[in-house]
Amino acid sequence: MDLGKIGVWFFTDRLTATDAASTAQRIEELGYGTLWIPETMGRNPFAHAAWLLANTDRLIVATGIANIYHREPGVTVQAQKTLAEQSGNRFLLGLGVSHKPLVEGLRGLSYGRPVATMRTYLEKMAVSPYTSIEPGETPPTVIAALGPKMLELARDTTDGAHPYFTSPGHTRMAREVLGPDKWLCVEQKVVMTRDPDQARGLARATARTYQALPNYRNNWLRMGLTEADISGEGSDAYIDATFAWGDAKTIRQRIDEHLEAGASHVCIQPVNREGRFGEVDWETLEALAP
């Protein structure tokens, strides 16, 4: 499976199914290798991946990420292998433990210790039976990994890691933990404007959704940011570390920094410059296309 050096990470829940398919087709036409779709409170990511795969020819569709608390390990294996076989091995399974406020507060489930819970889930996946036609290749799996222990688990039990909302410095650390051969698929939010006030304003509006989530906060502290940086509106240092903004050349430099730090794939998440969440900023994707 060739993910390409650059992919796109995007919420498609605000798009109709027809528009989501058209979006995936255009992303494919622009030359991006992979489209990453999340799982929050919207569409089932596996059903939606099947739709997007059926409406594209070459594009890889990846879950970034599917929440392990939403389904039993055997069900995940069934979905993974079904999608891989149906699409000619164009499906990448990304799994994650999500966040305690979402799992317990929203779903009313018990949130376990992240690394131990993920390890047990992967072990159960490995022994889950599947009696249908196997895909032509063993379908790959990556896990959402930020801290060293989860990165070690990714190294030892999966094909790699999918860090989210980080920086090139974090990418360098992650590569050191993963070793030279595992996939390191990093997400990078981008705002294509040279106006610092506009860029940071849009970035702060986007970051607000994530700032209360402890898994991200703990990782930002590991990255060298302070509580003052990541609290309230967030400091310029926090925004500039985690968002790439500027013209296309400047943003490409940030993508290159990730690649030079050891990323095997960078999936960019364009922030809509009009503040319309869920609408694709095609000018940005066209400017940054491979």
pTM: 0.97
Torsion of CA 80, 83, 89, 94, to 10 degrees: -40
Domain boundaries, the chain: 6-194+247-288
Q: Residues 147-191: pLDDT tens digits?
A: 999 999 999 999 999 999 999 999 999 999 999 999 999 999 999
Q: Compute how many other C-beta atoms are within 10 angstroms of the C-beta atom of residue 237.
A: 14
Q: Is the pLDDT of residue 106 over 90?
A: no
pLDDT for res 274: 84
Q: Enumerate residues 6+ apart whose C-beta is below 8 A from 262.
A: 171, 172, 174, 175, 176, 178, 184
The residue with tokens 């995936």 is 24
pLDDT band at 26 (very low <50, low <70, confident <90, very high): very high
Q: Enumerate residues 6+ apart whose C-beta is below 8 A from 221.
A: 227, 230
Q: Is the pLDDT of residue 275 over 80?
A: no
Instruction: Tell me the angle at which helices 17-29 and 45-54 cross, rounded to the nearest 10 degrees.
Output: 60
Domain 6-194+247-288 class in CATH:
alpha beta
Q: Is the pLDDT of residue 37 over 90?
A: yes
What is the rounded distance in angstroms from the CA atom of residue 149 to the CA atom of residue 140? 20
- Give the phi and the psi of residue 93 in degrees, each rounded to 5: -85, 115
Among residues 216, 240, 278, 247, the alpha carbon closest in space to that of 15 is found at 278
